[in-house]
A and B are shown apart, each in its own frame.
Chain A
């Protein structure tokens, strides 16, 4: 089954404790992206990757890191989480340039930073 697998589904942590949210897709997609979703603000792009070792900032990259060492994996790293990073996070992938083909989303990670 074609899917984007994102873990964990829920995460509660404390300020400053490094964490990683994993994302993996089994569709051989080149394009992958991370979004955060906050009430009233919709989906905002954090980082995206057009291919292995090619990543770039989205609209809200501050406080986040990503890496793309393998085509299937695109982890999101919070080196020193802060309460304003409490949000619902989604990983997504697409087989072509993001705008010309649909995005496949992971199931989401609800992050709370205390």
Chain B
């Protein structure tokens, strides 16, 4: 089992709809969770971080964490074409000196 796993997609969503991106992780003791957005040919940029169970909202973005199920998700409301990018889930594994990234989900928003 991969330490951090995402569906690589591509995920296609119509403009204005909700895009839902999912990530599972293997280490039950993980404490810190991040979502990065990466446009083609560019470097990743942090869009959300979450540390405790439940939802965290920031504008059109909502991160959801369920530690019991070892699951973290990112919802993008009112999707825009500018949201088309690859979204990387990253998890700070307990006791490890590193942040582990999933392989990323490519999201396309169709006008």
Residues of A bordering B, CB below 8 Å: 33, 35, 40-45, 48, 50, 56, 58-59, 90, 97-100, 102-103, 105-108
> Total interface residues on B, using CB and 8 Å?
21
* Contact assessment for B103 and A48 in the assembled complex, using a CB-CB cutoff below 8 Å: no
Q: Could you list 6 A-B pairs, sorted by A, with CB under 8 Å?
A: A42-B101, A43-B44, A45-B98, A98-B97, A102-B49, A103-B44
Q: Known pairs A42-B88, A44-B101, A45-B99. 16 more at Cβ < 8 A?
A: A42-B101, A42-B102, A42-B104, A43-B88, A59-B98, A98-B92, A98-B99, A99-B98, A102-B46, A105-B43, A105-B44, A106-B43, A107-B42, A108-B41, A108-B42, A108-B43
Residues of B bordering A, CB below 8 Å: 8, 31-32, 34, 41-46, 49, 88, 92-93, 97-99, 101-104
